[in-house]
């Protein structure tokens, strides 16, 4: 199995220089400017995704398995390009497995990383040769043993609070003592407990924030080995940040620091990473339109700016104003003022930024084109099927 | 125009007895029990929607125009049945206008109630004979005047906090003084300012909560008439509650009280209402499956229950745990314990109820069918296009 793994470790020899973000932006602008779009559209630069993949792979170091968290953006063009470069895929469902296979990924390059699986999806994965599954509960191990007998499993552990911009909920993972019990249980069921996984939280901008979590994981790891389990895979999940305005490290530098922290604790174990946002967010730019600029009353200090895209058609990640997207307008450079921003639907929850208004040009008006930067992740897939008669976000991959 | 309006006022002569909610539930259960569903599915009872329409119409009284807020559930079967009964439609976009027309509604029965419209959508509506538009800003009036010259407009007013379970944001409507200014502006642009609209907020369970808002509206109404505007339409929006566990009044009784409050202030003006949730929520039941029941550690007090449906595939209204859906399991009646509930996706935000755990049977296990009551509104349309490879909520109308 290790041979199969090593057959698709990141191809460092093929590493290319990473396109600087300014270059990606100017390439996207070059495509967008002068073109007419009849509805909100995400334009995604495939080369930028591939370059980011190589940067993360190079940073994390020789032997790292990168499994793209395709939920961030499963555009077939992106999946094909990543598969061709040797990237693996983390799938959460039969639907995602089918997409990865269709993109040319072999079963050995696909992990079924969801801890909540339909039994029929497990059987589907097993029938297609997929051999690596996540679990965090006994009942899940029972399902895997029944539908993918003899498979490799890694146990997801619930780690304490980290310094991520958006710490995760307690949804995934089990307590450390339970993880050890589950290793025993997996072996008893004829499965092969090969490792551990965790997730530091999305947008963890400081690589130092990984240390505590890695210490906790190493403790469980050594306890598991002491119990006789041949652990050889440490899955560090995602958390690689994208640039939304707050400073982040350059991708390769960031990955290098995280890789060093991991190797200091896990030696020659196989390291797996599951970047999603970190690979695709900065590669995309949404083209949208201003539908209305107004004030609620004459003495209103804030203007309201309504776009033709909102929470239900691509910008769901503005929820709780977590992500502060950056905007480009035709009037940039002119005088600005505070704006509350909202989407086009008849839903009062479809407000993008209200707690912390966005400063936009005073000259902005209905009909203006507006570009939304770093929107390659969690936009097309979070779109509703067509709430209020507005179609889902369109996508063009260049 | 009044003649056209009166031609489709609610047909009270055709009023039928409202199906009690127990009857609707047993009809839905009769259809569901024993059937196999291969993915999460909403089963919707068309007769129950029609019966609720007649109950609201009868309660609100002779002459009320009911325009279904189709965003709640635009299933073609529902739209056709409502259109056949004389119900009108509130549309928010070209997409919704097309659905209403396809269902057999005439243009006179369709209002374009979104205050944020694409200019091309206004032109589309105008070309199809739609003559009634909402606005809350000068720039919107400009668009309407340009693309639907001479149209009737009603001005949406921003009202103060009410007693709704979910008060609306400030997204829609303008301040009272602005509403008066906009009436003048509409007339200046050759449009016909015919009335006012507002929204008390979703799930306003106490009809008495409408009084303050109606008083505010009446003040603006009389000021507008004093300025010479021939106002004849008061659009009271939605807010009609559905039963999610907390007690509500029977629909006709509730509507009767609201109707009396409105007529006491607006006399013989035409009353328009835009129920969405109030018409369809109780008519639907989702069939789902338990994928996993687990505890994070052996001494965990709460179990985690993971379903095959979550925030991204139909249950978006659990956001902030606002709606407390009610569940039916095969083990009801047995001993229960607290559960945190979550969806199947690899997204840590896909948690349904965590702040206030749900009590479910101790015997509940992976593979059990679970029914979710009163899910006819804002479920199919809030579904994502297929986040994480999970398909959108399926729909069967019976």
Do residues A328 and A290 make contact, with C-beta atoms less than 8 angstroms apart? no
CA-wise closest residue to B243 among B29, B52, B28, B42 = B52
**pLDDT band with cut points at 50, 70 and 90 for residue B211:** very high
Give the span between the Cα atoms of B201 and B239, in whole angstroms. 5
For residue A83, give how far its alpha carbon lies from the nearest alpha carbon of chain B (Å). Answer: 18
In this predicted structure, what is the pLDDT of residue B320?
84
- pLDDT of B200 > 80? The answer is yes
Sign of CA dihedral A313, A316, A317, A323: positive
Do residues B122 and A291 make contact, with C-beta atoms less than 8 angstroms apart? no
- pLDDT of B36 > 50? The answer is yes
- pLDDT of B334 > 60? The answer is yes
Query: Is there a contact between A99 and B389 if contact means CB atoms under 8 Å apart?
Result: yes
In this predicted structure, what is the pLDDT of residue A7?
34
Query: Is there a contact between B177 and A71 if contact means CB atoms under 8 Å apart?
Result: no
Helix locations, B16-85, DSSP H: 21-32, 46-60, 76-84
Do residues B287 and B32 make contact, with C-beta atoms less than 8 angstroms apart? yes
Q: Which of A139, A349, A381 is nearest residue B294 as measured by Cβ atoms?
A: A139
Q: Whose structure tokens read 């005073």?
A: A362
**pLDDT band with cut points at 50, 70 and 90 for residue A76:** very high
In this predicted structure, what is the pLDDT of residue B369?
98
Determine what percent of chain A is predicted with pLDDT higher than 70: 92
Question: 3-class DSSP state for residue A2?
Answer: helix
Question: 3-class DSSP state for residue B7?
Answer: helix
Query: Is there a contact between A96 and B171 if contact means CB atoms under 8 Å apart?
Result: no
**pLDDT band with cut points at 50, 70 and 90 for residue A21:** low
- pLDDT of A109 > 60? The answer is yes
Mutation for testing the B interface, residue in A387, A392, A394 having most B CBs under 10 Å:
A387
Nearest CA in chain A to B385: A385
In this predicted structure, what is the pLDDT of residue A112?
98
Size of interface A-B (CB pairs under 8 A): 213
pLDDT in tens, A187-201: 999 999 999 999 987
Average pLDDT of chain A is: 91
In this predicted structure, what is the pLDDT of residue A169?
73
For residue B287, give how far its alpha carbon lies from the nearest alpha carbon of chain A (Å). Answer: 15
CA-wise closest residue to B21 among B236, B202, B250 = B250
Q: What are phi and psi of B328, to 5 degrees?
A: -120, 130
Do residues A242 and A278 make contact, with C-beta atoms less than 8 angstroms apart? yes
A339 is known as an active-site residue: no
CA dihedral B364, B369, B374, B380 (to 10 degrees): 130
Nearest CA in chain B to A118: B291
Mean pLDDT for the stretch of residues B151-167: 77
- pLDDT of B245 > 90? The answer is no
Say how many Å lie between the first and final Cα of chain A, rounded. 36
CA-wise closest residue to B252 among B281, B279, B289 = B279
Query: Is there a contact between B304 and A171 if contact means CB atoms under 8 Å apart?
Result: yes
Domain boundaries, given as residue ranges, for chain B: 46-280, 282-397
In this predicted structure, what is the pLDDT of residue A163?
54
- pLDDT of A3 > 50? The answer is no
Average pLDDT of chain B is: 91
Mutation for testing the B interface, residue in A292, A293, A351 having most B CBs under 10 Å:
A292
Determine what percent of chain B is predicted with pLDDT higher than 90: 81
Give the span between the Cα atoms of B184 and A307, in whole angstroms. 27
Portion 360-389 of B in contact with A at CB < 8 A: 365-367, 380-389
Higher pLDDT, A316 or A161: A316
Give the span between the Cα atoms of B296 and A140, in whole angstroms. 13
Q: CATH number for B282-397: choose from 2.40.37.10, 3.50.50.60, 3.30.470.20, 3.40.50.300.
A: 2.40.37.10
Give the span between the Cα atoms of B174 and B189, in whole angstroms. 19
Do residues B153 and B136 make contact, with C-beta atoms less than 8 angstroms apart? no
For residue A133, give how far its alpha carbon lies from the nearest alpha carbon of chain B (Å). Answer: 13
ipTM over 0.85: yes
pLDDT in tens, B116-147: 999 999 999 999 999 999 999 999 999 999 99
Q: Given CB atoms, is B95 within the 8 Å cutoff of chain A?
A: yes
| Same fold yes or no, A46-280 and A282-397 | no
Mutation for testing the A interface, residue in B202, B354, B389 having most A CBs under 10 Å:
B389
The tokens describing A192, both together, are 């092969």
Give Cβ neighbours of residue A264 (< 8 Å, ≥ 6 apart): none
Q: Given CB atoms, is B29 within the 8 Å cutoff of chain A?
A: no
In this predicted structure, what is the pLDDT of residue A207?
87
Q: Whose structure tokens read 């909540």?
A: A116
Nearest CA in chain B to A304: B171
- B chain contacts of residue A115, beta-carbon cutoff 8 Å: 292
CATH number at B46-280: 3.20.20.10
In this predicted structure, what is the pLDDT of residue B206?
86
Q: Which of B169, B292, B384 is nearest residue A382 as measured by Cβ atoms?
A: B384
In this predicted structure, what is the pLDDT of residue A299?
86
**pLDDT band with cut points at 50, 70 and 90 for residue A10:** very low
- pLDDT of A167 > 60? The answer is no
In this predicted structure, what is the pLDDT of residue B237?
94
- pLDDT of B4 > 60? The answer is no
**pLDDT band with cut points at 50, 70 and 90 for residue A164:** low
In this predicted structure, what is the pLDDT of residue B209?
87
- B chain contacts of residue A380, beta-carbon cutoff 8 Å: 385
């Amino acid at each position: 199995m290790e041979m199969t793994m090593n057959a698709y470790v990141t191809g460092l020899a093929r590493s290319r220089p990473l396109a600087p973000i300014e270059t990606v932006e100017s390439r996207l602008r070059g495509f967008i400017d002068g073109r007419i779009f009849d509805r909100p559209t995400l334009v995604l630069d495939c080369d930028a995704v591939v370059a980011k993949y190589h940067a993360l792979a190079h940073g994390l170091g020789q032997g790292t398995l990168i499994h793209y968290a395709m939920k961030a953006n499963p555009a077939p063009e992106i999946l094909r390009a990543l598969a061709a470069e040797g990237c693996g895929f983390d799938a959460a469902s039969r639907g995602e497995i089918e997409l990865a296979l269709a993109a040319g990924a072999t079963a050995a390059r696909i992990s079924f990383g969801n801890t909540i699986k339909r039994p029929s999806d497990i059987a589907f994965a097993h029938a297609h040769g997929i051999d690596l599954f996540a679990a965090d509960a006994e009942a899940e191990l029972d399902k895997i043993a029944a539908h993918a007998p003899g498979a490799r499993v890694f146990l997801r552990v619930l780690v304490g609070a980290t310094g991520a911009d958006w710490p995760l909920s307690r949804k995934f993972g089990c307590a450390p003592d339970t993880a050890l019990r589950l290793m025993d249980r997996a072996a008893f069921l004829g499965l092969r407990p090969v490792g551990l996984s965790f997730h530091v939280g999305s947008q963890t901008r400081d690589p130092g924030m990984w240390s505590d979590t890695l210490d906790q994981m190493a403790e469980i790891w050594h306890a598991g080995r002491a119990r006789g389990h041949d652990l050889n895979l440490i899955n560090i999940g995602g958390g690689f940040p994208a640039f939304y305005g707050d400073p982040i490290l350059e991708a390769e530098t960031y990955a290098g620091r995280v890789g060093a922290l991991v190797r200091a604790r896990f030696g020659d174990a196989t390291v797996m990473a599951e970047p999603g946002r970190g690979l695709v967010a900065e590669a995309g730019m949404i083209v949208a339109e201003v539908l209305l600029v107004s004030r609620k009353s004459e003495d209103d200090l804030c203007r309201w700016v309504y776009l033709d895209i909102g929470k239900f058609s691509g910008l769901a990640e503005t929820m709780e104003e977590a992500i502060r997207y950056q905007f480009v307008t035709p009037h940039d450079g002119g005088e600005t003022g505070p704006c509350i921003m909202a989407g086009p639907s008849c839903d009062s929850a479809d407000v993008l930024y209200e707690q912390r208004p966005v400063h936009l040009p005073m000259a902005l008006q209905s009909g203006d084109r507006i570009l939304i930067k770093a929107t390659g992740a969690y936009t097309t897939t979070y779109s509703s099927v067509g709430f209020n008669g507005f179609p889902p976000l369109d996508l063009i991959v260049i």
